Every structure is written in C-alpha cells, then in structure tokens.
Amino acid sequence: MKKILLFSLLAVAILVFAGCSKKAVRTDDADITSAANVVVGEVLIDAGVYVADIDKSSVNWMGDEYTGSAQTGTVSLKRSELEIIDNNIVGGKFVIDMTSIADDDGSDSLEEHLKGDDFFSTVTYPEAVLELKSARLLKTNHEGLPVFETVGDLTIRDITKEITFESVINALRGELTAYTHLILDRTEWGVEYGSGKFFEDLKDQVIKDEMVFDIMIEADIQ
C-alpha cells in the first residue's frame, strides 16, 4: 500500500493529562469551565471543555504491503470533545467518519475496497470512536510541551479494544492543538483482508497488519 510523511503524531497527541478521572465529557453550558490557567512545567494550559474545529483538524492513514508499496490517504474527523480540569483530562471522545476514507491518489477502486466488507464495511459501521479512559504525564518534549501516556477504548467495526498511546498537547489562551500517532493491528478489529495471519500463499500480495493513523486536532474552549 504508498508512503507519506504522516505527522508522527495520533506520538504527539489526541490528548491528555496526568491523573485523569473517568468522568464523561460534559457538554451542557452550566458545566463548561473556561477556568483559570494551570501550569505543567513551564507550559501554560487553559482548563475547560475543548471542541474540535473539524475544518482545521486532520486524520491521515497509511497502509503498506510487504513489497514496500505503501498507500496513504485521509479520513475525516466527525466530532471531538476534550475536557481539562485542574491539569487533568477528565473526559474525551473522538468520532471518525469512516465513510469519508479517501486515497491520496484518488483511486476510486481502492476507496471502494476500503469502504467494503474486506476492510471497514462503512455502510454497516460508518463511525470509529475513541473514548479516553485515563492518562498520565510522561515528560515534556524538546519544545517543552507535555507528552502523555493515554489509555482509551477504540471501536472499529463494532469491535472495542483498549489501546495505549502517547500524545502531545498544547493548550493556551483557550486554543488547543493535540497530536497523536496510532499504529494499529487492523486484524484485531476484524480487518483480515490480505493478512498473512489468516491467508496462505499470498506471496507478494500480503498486506501488513499494521495501519498508521496520524491525528492532529485544533480545538477551542466552548
């Protein structure tokens, strides 16, 4: 499947802070806090509920054959909310519109294949959802931004698996940018097409089980 420089992000982040609770994101006006700033090291972070700007956010994907032929493309973020209180991520939910999956080369046949039952079966399962469960601060990166180890439940094709990943987040003056780099074994979510685990004699048609999803989110306090 063709290579692209994906943000090494969805290692930088969709989100998170040390010592998170499992509270759900609160969306009613009475509960939204644009509260006092909090500090992680020398990083100033605004507390509050952040809602993604869909037009400024992005999700990139990459798949690869063992022959080195890579395929790359995009998929749209449908909605995203993240709540930060007292330097903690206390809720977060990210919904991906799988029906929007596209190939960078504009191949209609590949896009139809990815949307079909061999891959993501988007008619039956139009959304993928990541819900955050916990996070802890690991370090700051070379830019002084906090890097978190984040745990969440990822649902694809109605199959939910717990995943752990690193995230980088920058929140200042009511604006938030988050980066996350996910490497997923697609077969754990029932996407078995071309996998050497399930099919023999594929030879140079074997497709790697790993898919990369790089996510960049820009959001504002609501």
Range of the domain at 73: 29-221
List the one residue out of 209, 201, 160 whose CA is nearest residue 184: 209
The CA distance from 49 to 34, in Å, is 7
What CATH number has the domain bearing residue 134? 2.40.128.110
Per-residue model confidence as pLDDT tens for the chain (222 residues): 433 333 333 333 333 333 333 333 322 332 222 223 334 444 456 788 899 999 999 999 999 865 567 899 999 999 999 888 776 677 799 999 999 999 999 999 999 999 999 999 999 999 999 999 888 888 888 888 888 888 999 999 999 999 999 989 887 788 889 999 999 999 999 998 877 676 666 566 678 889 999 999 999 998
Number of domains the chain is built from? 1
pLDDT at res. 47:
80
pTM of the model: 0.76
Asked if the structure places residue 64 within a domain, the reply is: yes
pLDDT at res. 40:
44
Asked if the structure places residue 10 within a domain, the reply is: no
pLDDT at res. 196:
66
The 3-state DSSP composition of the chain as helix, strand, coil percent (nearest 5) reads: 10, 50, 40
Asked if the structure places residue 5 within a domain, the reply is: no
pLDDT at res. 28:
33
What one-character DSSP code corresponds to residue 115?
Answer: H
Asked if the structure places residue 39 within a domain, the reply is: yes
Asked if the structure places residue 199 within a domain, the reply is: yes
Asked if the structure places residue 11 within a domain, the reply is: no
Asked if the structure places residue 93 within a domain, the reply is: yes
The CA distance from 150 to 125, in Å, is 25
Asked if the structure places residue 149 within a domain, the reply is: yes
